[in-house]
Amino acid sequence: MMFPRFYYPEKIEVDQIVELPANAMHHAVHVLRLEQGNKVTLFNGKGGEYTASVERTNNKSTLCLIKEYLNVERESPFHITLAQGICTNVKMDLIVRKTVELGVGDIQPIATKRSLVKLSNERAERRVRHWQRIAISACEQCGRNRLPPIFPPMLLSDWLDRQMHAQKNLSEDISQNLFFILSPIAEKRLRDFSYLSSVSKLTLLIGPEGGFTPAENAAVSAAAYIPLRLGERTLRTESAAIASISALQALWGDY
């Protein structure tokens, strides 16, 4: 049986009494109507979870007594990095929430020529904090005990420079580290890689609403990304992220 789950960002120890953060407290009191003695689960995003019971709750605070540590993990068997072209706020929020539920390992927002949303430094920091809150909520809902990081936005050119440097340091077994870019005109499909029995790490690059420019596509190709097509239909960027990670999990993950 799964009890209500709450993210607590600090260190947790058995027999400790902790006060739920403001957002979690509001959900516990005003949505779930938790009372003294109700059982809950806490996690701090670093692995494992803790059973706890509500010791005291009111409109100002909710205190929980930590009962037991459980070494429970629900992570994907391989690491997926989603490099997502920044799109409109509603779409980006949906992508973060659903891909975290699907098991993405980390998310790198990418600024491209055709990104409709342009983020300044201060605004970018606010959006990353917002996306991280969405990721926390998704972990609370789906049972993940490790919080996937969401990195500050990067220009596509800077991201590719970093990726090319990282690829030089990979082991000889390149099949364990795949780099895909979704493209509606690509020749290869996922079934073309079904001969691989397992994958350790995979990076998936997806463009914004308008896709990548020809120059950007050329730069991605030079970085040794493999163009990948999802069927005969052209998907919206938010659909592409959800569909592709679902398919990857079916092929190499825990589906």
Question: What is the predicted pLDDT for the residue at 174?
Answer: 54
Question: What is the predicted pLDDT for the residue at 164?
Answer: 80
Residue 173 pLDDT exceeds 60 = no
Residues 87 and 200 in one domain: yes
Give the model confidence (pLDDT) of 239-253 as tens digits. Answer: 999 999 999 999 999
Residue 206 pLDDT exceeds 70 = yes
Residue 171 pLDDT exceeds 60 = no
Nearest in space to 202 (alpha carbons), one of 237, 248, 247:
248
Residues 25 and 146 in one domain: no
Question: What is the predicted pLDDT for the residue at 192?
Answer: 95
Q: How far is CA 84 from CA 145, 187, 217, 241, 251, in A?
A: 23, 21, 14, 8, 21
Question: What is the predicted pLDDT for the residue at 19?
Answer: 95
CATH number of the domain enclosing 193: 3.40.1280.10
Q: What is the mean pLDDT of residues 221-232?
A: 93
Residue 233 pLDDT exceeds 70 = yes
Question: What is the predicted pLDDT for the residue at 175?
Answer: 59
Residues 57 and 97 in one domain: no
Residue 74 pLDDT exceeds 90 = yes
Q: What is the mean pLDDT of residues 34-55?
A: 96
Residues of the domain holding 243: 79-252
Residue 172 pLDDT exceeds 80 = no
Residue 123 pLDDT exceeds 60 = yes
Into how many domains does the chain fold? 2
Residues 44 and 99 in one domain: no
What percentage of the chain has pLDDT greater than the value 70? Answer: 96
Q: What is the CA radius of gyration of the chain?
A: 20
| Spatial separation of the C-alpha atoms in residues 134 and 156, rounded to whole Å | 24
Indicate the DSSP class of residue 190.
G
Question: What is the predicted pLDDT for the residue at 60?
Answer: 86
Residue 170 pLDDT exceeds 70 = no
- The residue from 51, 70, 89 where one domain ends is 70
- Identify the weakest region by mean pLDDT among 162-166, 229-233, 234-238: 162-166
- The residue from 33, 51, 70 where one domain ends is 70
Indicate the DSSP class of residue 174.
G
- Identify the weakest region by mean pLDDT among 47-61, 90-104, 115-129: 115-129
- Identify the weakest region by mean pLDDT among 72-76, 116-120, 127-131, 165-169: 165-169
CATH number of the domain enclosing 25: 2.40.240.20
Counts of helices then strands in the chain (DSSP H, E): 6, 11
- The residue from 70, 94, 126 where one domain ends is 70
